[in-house]
Structure 1
């Protein structure tokens, strides 16, 4: 902990020139002015400087895509968290996904810049937490800011802390709880709190922010202030953490790694609540009830983006368009993307051209037909490379398929339908392609769109969308035994893309699967599926072999489809039935350099 925080003790880093009276989301807010070392009394004796200090703390928030080589930008060695799920795979041979995870080499001594999440400030979390506490502790002395605004600004600072802890909680479990800005005389070796204490710490911060922040930004100011925390954002983050905590990873009759139940992290309840507490699902329901009630009282300023005539565009706007009335929390590293090959937006190349997050057949199969009828995945078992057909298995599907994945013959903004067949303009170059973009017969579409028209596009990370609240509400109702009440919230999300509602009469287990599948469809490549697999301890999903298609083009617009298994990951089953997966993979290990200081317990299996 000392190594993490010591460098933050003597410097108040801020971009004084780039931020003045207002919080901006344009280039002026995001450009870095020369940093300066200033005394905190100088900063907090000037209203403009104090506000600018908080705006700068916002830049520490989690941004889910790789940017460029170096520091926080080199996320997962230019890879993607979703490539660890059963929905995507990586064709980028030199990213952290392949180098550490697919190979099974990741451990407590690994390069955390290539890991899912870096505890040692690789995500700027400790920097952001310290800045936020500094702001909370010193804003009272600032002149020319009234008390009401000071409380609002403190609420925003608490949300910065809450977001960072929420990110760490989902990767590590119980954490050392930093409750102030450290100085050189403090003890940096804080012990881990329990999983429940850490959950409550985050919830309390959200509650405190909820009590002082406006429910939504006022009409006319959304574009200028987009990304600034609101009361709805605070309640939304609380719901996310309550849902994670209520799930079986921590909240079960036995710890997630029974064979390691004697380890200190288990016995001291750093990664387990000590038993199953069904009331936690009720807490999620109560928080969701409050969200819906408050939103209605405020005139429903938060709602899903809708466009019945063009549901695909509505869905794209929901994750891509700024100030859309659905993005509860969005973060960014810049205002816009200059062009596709912009070296500072490396995800465009690593995702689209190099295949860092390439859809697999199992994910494509999840998307039903446009009328809501499930797609029959056995279709592919009846195909082979010599069987050419004119029927298009990708036509008339859930509109979200085309926004998450580039599939053969899809319309995608250029002057021709997508050519994902072998040798096609968007497809793999040859029969033996085993990596790179589209090597599975599909490519990513989300965030990169058609690649050719990226100049000037907005560039934010959809950290938390309203659709997640609806699906979390449905999940909690189902787990609490109110399966019949869950339908309306799942169906509301499906209705945005004109899908029919779920069939009636589902059992609790069937509804759970439908909700998790719906979350996979709705939040593709938004780092939701990975944490769903973790919190539900889905060993089978981590272990199963994944597939792609070799699509060949024949005469008269006919195609053949050959299903093939993509390269095996270390934790996936071998053909001889050998199982390599262990539950240790649900959480990350704390870095060895931190463990060696003696203030932490290591997570089970590491």
Structure 2
């Protein structure tokens, strides 16, 4: 098969054939020498559906999983380590080699970046979905209702890909058909507002034809298919992103000098419109109205014992909370490297994402009251764990928000049938002063869990692309920004209650809840709830949190107490230290190194030079 390569449209302009698409066993039945043509694919409902299912495989998956351009996007690194919540100690990943060193630029984009503009699979998925939309009506053995539903799913594939790119790049070229090499491929970049409308219109179209939620009887077979709840949920995510100051402000995020992308409103809306928060509230109102009316019972937060309920919310397939989930495979592969080694080793051994002390400090006590970060200044303060005799010594990780233990591996908790050893030289810490998977004094727990067959080993993990909890917290944030803070407490408190925490007002008696105070709390709550789920990075970007980029981050070194040659049980000393510096963090004497151009990614230089209407983002 001949392929015409035309830059960005490498995927979009492939000639109309299906050789590039993988199909299930159905297509193995074709006779030797028989070609799979478009007529073949859309001659039977079964074949057409398999074509669409394959398009699902192009959706974004947030964990690293193999050596392919998508699976190894950052050289075994993860975008989560670009936030203030995690730090990478994987020396050969692109987080360290490209980002932490300040070498990221338009030339590095695509091969070493957090999101590959032309190599991520987005444009292949978009073209595949359009091929389906343009041909499904000719399938002879498929009824109109099924066709309408499948069209809605295809539109959601397009919407998800555009939503992913929008949060990295802003306005985009709007592709509205499956292009061939005979089409004019000069598609100019749309404005940020036009691109937002394009995405939300696709979500509206899908909402109109998709079932609100998969029937319980269908979950085992069809978990992962798009629903009406998924469509409206994605729309809410995008409206929230758009209402935030990155795009919605009186000045562009980059003011160093003028750029075409600024002048043409590709990276901002040109003015601040506070009513955009009302759009988010209205969409959330509709979401919960439809959820109550759903005959299947609607979506709900997972419940039960706190740690179990939280783990189910992101890790377990087919729960009542998951709105959109993606996966690389539906069953455990036979390839040991893919199943057991790649992600588990990058996170659990090499340190691709090591929690910072700053992050662990966000998790309150088990009742919801705030954790006192001043405890790190007194290594012998009184706390929760008994030492020898009647003496009580500090354990700053004891009796905390259950999500801390489900997200981070901390010292002296139940782990692999024993107590975890995050002290210097311990089995889970190692001897390196600042190296390995627990270089900060903590390790990651989320997704890799206890790294055994009982929890995660070999598990075909889903990616929790969008959970119901995000809708709750988006609702709270939008209500607050719309001046309805009192109503916002209900939604954030429900998320906290799932893990046994008191509501905000009870947890912070006497606090004055201004709009800014509440906003900071809901952003912290999003960090606690969605650690390792790709949420924090975009929260930092959309709120232009320069201070969070600039600040230096901390870890803790833990030492066992030894008296007269004997280890004293359950007694440790804790020593806070500063993690190695990233290029954008402040230098000595308060020198500011952060550049706001980083709020948006650069387009690859090669794409700009192809002159089809793409403008470069400011500063790159």
TM bracket, shorter-chain basis: over 0.9
Instruction: Verify the 8 A CA contact 1:65 1:75 in the aligned structure 2.
Output: no
Instruction: Verify the 8 A CA contact 1:288 1:473 in the aligned structure 2.
Output: yes
Matched, 1:390 2:393: yes
Instruction: Verify the 8 A CA contact 2:224 2:326 in the aligned structure 1.
Output: yes
Structure 2 residue matching 1:221: 3-state secondary structure: helix
Instruction: Tell me how far 1:505 sits from its aligned partner.
Output: 4.3
In the alignment, structure 2 segments of 5+ residues that lack a partner are: 382-386, 506-510, 562-567
Instruction: Verify the 8 A CA contact 1:340 1:451 in the aligned structure 2.
Output: no
CA distance in 1, matches of 2:22, 2:188: 33
Instruction: Tell me how far 1:242 sits from its aligned partner.
Output: 0.3
Instruction: Tell me how far 1:370 sits from its aligned partner.
Output: 0.4
Q: Are the structure 2 counterparts of residues 380 and 217 from structure 1 closer, same or farther at C-alpha, using a change threshold of 3 Å?
A: same
Instruction: Tell me how far 1:551 sits from its aligned partner.
Output: 0.4
Q: Report what 1:11 is aligned to.
A: 17
Query: How big is each residue's C-alpha offset from its partner over 1:338-394, in whole Å with a ceiling of 9 and x where there is no partner?
Result: 699633562111011111011000000000000111001111123399xx9732111
Q: Report what 1:24 is aligned to.
A: none
Give the 5 Å matches for 1:267-346: 267-299=263-295, 300-307=297-304, 310-337=305-332, 342-344=337-339, 346=342
CA distance in 2, matches of 1:36, 1:296: 51
CA distance in 2, matches of 1:458, 1:576: 48
Q: Report what 2:513 is aligned to.
A: 506
CA distance in 2, matches of 1:383, 1:560: 6
CA distance in 2, matches of 1:167, 1:143: 34
CA distance in 2, matches of 1:9, 1:198: 26
Instruction: Verify the 8 A CA contact 1:337 1:458 in the aligned structure 2.
Output: yes
Question: Aligned-residue CA RMSD in angstroms?
Answer: 2.0
Q: Report what 1:381 is aligned to.
A: 377
Structure 1 residue matching 2:323: 3-state secondary structure: strand
Q: Report what 1:601 is aligned to.
A: 615
Structure 1 residue matching 2:147: 3-state secondary structure: helix
Query: How big is each residue's C-alpha offset from its partner over 1:55-91, in whole Å with a ceiling of 9 and x where there is no partner?
Result: 0000000000111112211121111111011100001
TM-score by length of 1: 0.93
Instruction: Tell me how far 1:172 sits from its aligned partner.
Output: 0.1
Q: Report what 2:483 is aligned to.
A: 481
Query: How big is each residue's C-alpha offset from its partner over 1:204-238, in whole Å with a ceiling of 9 and x where there is no partner?
Result: 00000000000011122112100000000000000
Q: Report what 2:58 is aligned to.
A: 60
Instruction: Verify the 8 A CA contact 2:353 2:444 in the aligned structure 1.
Output: yes
Q: Report what 2:605 is aligned to.
A: 592
CA distance in 2, matches of 1:436, 1:61: 31
> In the comparison of the two structures, how many residue pairs are matched?
585
CA distance in 2, matches of 1:77, 1:97: 8
Q: Report what 2:543 is aligned to.
A: 536
Query: How big is each residue's C-alpha offset from its partner over 1:240-267, in whole Å with a ceiling of 9 and x where there is no partner?
Result: 000000000000011011223x211001
Query: How big is each residue's C-alpha offset from its partner over 1:113-132, in whole Å with a ceiling of 9 and x where there is no partner?
Result: 32111111x21000000000
Instruction: Tell me how far 1:591 sits from its aligned partner.
Output: 0.1
Instruction: Tell me how far 1:48 sits from its aligned partner.
Output: 1.2
Q: Report what 1:185 is aligned to.
A: 182
* 226, 229, 248: which one aligns with 1:232: 229
Query: How big is each residue's C-alpha offset from its partner over 1:282-331, in whole Å with a ceiling of 9 and x where there is no partner?
Result: 11000000000000011542000000xx2111000000000001110000
CA distance in 1, matches of 2:333, 2:354: 24
Instruction: Verify the 8 A CA contact 2:83 2:536 in the aligned structure 1.
Output: yes
Q: Report what 1:25 is aligned to.
A: none
Give the 5 Å matches for 1:78-93: 78-93=76-91
Give the 5 Å matches for 1:240-251: 240-251=237-248
TM-score by length of 2: 0.91
Matched, 1:556 2:562: no
Q: Report what 1:520 is aligned to.
A: 527
Instruction: Verify the 8 A CA contact 2:492 2:522 in the aligned structure 1.
Output: yes
Structure 1 residue matching 2:588: 3-state secondary structure: coil
Query: How big is each residue's C-alpha offset from its partner over 1:441-469, in whole Å with a ceiling of 9 and x where there is no partner?
Result: 00000000011223453410000000000
